[in-house]
Structure 1
Amino acid sequence: MEPIFPLHEEVVNRYCGYPVCVVMQDGSRHIGILSSCGGGKVLLNAEAGGLEANVTQLQAPVSKKKKSGKGKKELPHQSVQPQAQAQTQAYPYDPYYYGPQPYYPWGGALALDFALIAFLFLLL
């Protein structure tokens, strides 16, 4: 373990992506991968997009059918709606994948207040 000193956001931000041990002023310890440091917060184990993974679903766009004038008929090729493509995934080739949920050895995402950190150690 190597201490990260001085505890300034610019210094700590250099170690993003490395495993660290954070000791808080109340004595609690947190171990994880340093994701980012800024705005008075230290983020551990955060995904690339932030604290939480964004889950989106593909849906076909909903179009409202307008009533056409009398005597006008829609041709079959005019009423074709775009369809959402199905996303399939074969065997997930991830070394930490165990069952329906992936396994994260460092735990879930965690945001810590930078002012409450007493010590920060780089785990080698």
Structure 2
Amino acid sequence: MNRIYPVDEATCTHFVGMPVCAVLQDGSRHYGVISRISGGKLILNESPEASTEGAKIRSAKGKGGSSGKARASSTVKNSRSESGGDKARLSAFPFAGPYPGAFPFAPFGNRIALDLAAIALLFLLFI
């Protein structure tokens, strides 16, 4: 374990994506992967979908609310659909898997936001 010091936004941004152990002032320990640092908070174990959804929402608000979903709603028809038959469906995966994300489980637990001022010690677990 390597200690990360000082615990501030500038120092912690170099370790985004790496597993850490955060020891708070009250002695509690939290393990996780640093997802981002924003607003004086250290965010651990955030799913990639959540961080990209926030970026999409912010960019959509900046462009007047157009997120391009109208284009994604178009359907593909096969030869039977023109004569009133069923519509064809396209999918990159032949089945819906049992796991809703890219990974089947979260090895370090759920998302947690820690206040940078509450962190007494921060250790890098693996190099």
- Normalising by the smaller structure, the TM-score range is 0.5 to 0.7
- Measured in 2, the distance between the counterparts of 1:21 and 1:120 equals 6
1:45–1:107 contact (8 Å) kept in structure 2: yes
Q: How big is the shift at 1:50?
A: 3.5
Q: How big is the shift at 1:30?
A: 0.6
For residues 53-75 of structure 1, give each alpha carbon's deviation from its aligned partner in whole angstroms, at most 9, with x where no partner exists.
79xxx8679xxxxxxxxxxxxxx
Alignment CA distance shift 1:86-1:110 (3 Å):
farther
Total equivalences in the alignment:
97
Alignment CA distance shift 1:104-1:52 (3 Å):
farther
The ranges of structure 1 where at least 4 consecutive aligned residues each deviate by more than 3 angstroms after the TM superposition are 49-54, 58-61, 83-88
In the TM superposition, what are the counterparts of 1:1-124 in structure 2 within 5 Å? 1-50=1-50, 85-87=89-91, 89-90=93-94, 100-101=98-99, 102-124=104-126
One-letter code of the match for 2:112?
L
Structure 2 unaligned regions, length at least 5: 55-71, 76-81
For residues 9-41 of structure 1, give each alpha carbon's deviation from its aligned partner in whole angstroms, at most 9, with x where no partner exists.
110111001010000111110111111112111
Q: Select the structure of larger CA radius of gyration.
A: 1
What is the RMSD of the two structures over their aligned residues, measured on CA atoms?
3.4
- Measured in 2, the distance between the counterparts of 1:84 and 1:51 equals 32
- Measured in 1, the distance between the counterparts of 2:13 and 2:106 equals 22
Higher share in helix: 2
With normalisation by structure 2, the TM-score equals 0.61
- Measured in 2, the distance between the counterparts of 1:90 and 1:3 equals 46
- Measured in 2, the distance between the counterparts of 1:5 and 1:86 equals 51
With normalisation by structure 1, the TM-score equals 0.62
Alignment CA distance shift 1:34-1:45 (3 Å):
same
Aligned to 2:61: none
Percent identical: 40
